[in-house]
Amino acid sequence: MACVFCDIVAGTVEADVVLETPSLLAFLDQRPVFEGHVLLIPRAHVPTLPDLPAELRDPFLAAAQRLARAVVAGLGAQGSFVAMNNTVSQSVPHLHLHVVPRTKGDGLRGFFWPRRRYADGERAAVAARLREALASLD
């Protein structure tokens, strides 16, 4: 199956690259939320964050930190919004992290997720299920 991000890595699709390492690539989003919206990807095809090889975790996060600092230093942003989707709402099935420059009053409203309260005892039960799942992943 064709992957536009793999094509960017291969050089067959043009992109405005802002950061290159042997294992990572960052480039401007073609449809940015704000000017300077960057996408960070592993050069190897990795579908989602859970699929990211252990040896890429630290370099990936370090590059994200550098990009978050760069949008402030280079573009005059006051901060950034850093996010990624895994499968659901993932427009390209290749791991990509968004670094979006932010300025107070920029109009970005964030996420409008419905909120709810836990029923009595429910929160502890959910936490226990997550701890159990984490333990089984170790």
Q: Residue 26 and residue 68: Cα distance in Å, rounded?
A: 12
Least confident of 48-52, 56-60, 97-101: 97-101
pLDDT at 112: 57
pTM: 0.85
Q: What is the set of domains in the chain, with CATH numbers?
A: 4-109 (3.30.428.10)
CA dihedral over 5, 10, 12, 16, signed as positive or negative: positive
pLDDT at 4: 97
Residues serving a catalytic function are 96
